[in-house]
């Protein structure tokens, strides 16, 4: 089951990031498509499935946040990615939205690095 969970998780990662990029690009020049039900609901469904698949992987591998430093750091970075992703669409000014979008991508980079190396960057003394 591990490989099925892993591949599903990776698919959800690709969809989540793709939706962030597409939706942000569309928001630069307000598009009517962004107001459709699909674009309002799909990111939430994808991110929920992403988190569910992460929990399934943790349970399968028996590795948990706050026990394994790399997983704790990955979880915190994912939360920062989500928070800045939300702010990239709801920030008051275009500059704030742009900075939040770049910040979300930066945290995403940390998530990818930690996921691939299983080595924390910031929580090394954990």
For the stretch 105-118, pLDDT in tens is: 999 999 999 999 99
Q: Where are the domains of the chain?
A: 1-62, 64-126
Backbone torsion region of residue 34, taken as left when φ is above 0, otherwise alpha when ψ lies between -120 and 50, otherwise beta = alpha
pLDDT category, 26, cuts 50, 70, 90? very high
Q: Which residues of 43-56 are buried (b: 16+ CB within 10 A; e: fewer)?
A: beebbebbbebbeb
**Digit-coded pLDDT (tens) for 68-87:** 999 999 999 999 999 999 99
| 3-state DSSP of 16-59 | HHHHHHHHHHHHHCCCHHHHCHHHHHHHHHHHHHHHHHHHHHHH
**Which position has the token pair 């469904």?**
45
Look up the pTM and report it. Answer: 0.87
Number of residues in the chain = 126
From 71, 69, 48, select the one nearest 59 (Cα to Cα): 71
On whether the CB atoms of residues 69 and 126 are closer than 8 A, the answer is yes
């Amino acid at each position: 089951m591990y490989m099925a969970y892993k591949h599903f998780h990776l698919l959800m990662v690709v969809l989540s990031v793709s939706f962030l990029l597409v939706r942000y690009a569309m928001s630069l020049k307000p598009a009517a498509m962004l107001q459709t039900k699909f674009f309002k609901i799909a990111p939430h469904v994808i991110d929920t499935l992403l988190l569910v698949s992460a929990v399934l992987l943790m349970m399968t591998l028996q590795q948990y946040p706050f026990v394994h430093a790399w997983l704790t750091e990955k979880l915190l970075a994912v939360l920062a990615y989500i928070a800045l992703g939300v702010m990239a669409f709801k920030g008051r000014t275009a500059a704030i939205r742009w900075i939040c979008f770049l910040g979300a991508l930066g945290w995403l980079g940390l998530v990818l690095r930690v996921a691939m190396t299983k080595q924390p960057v910031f929580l090394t003394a954990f």
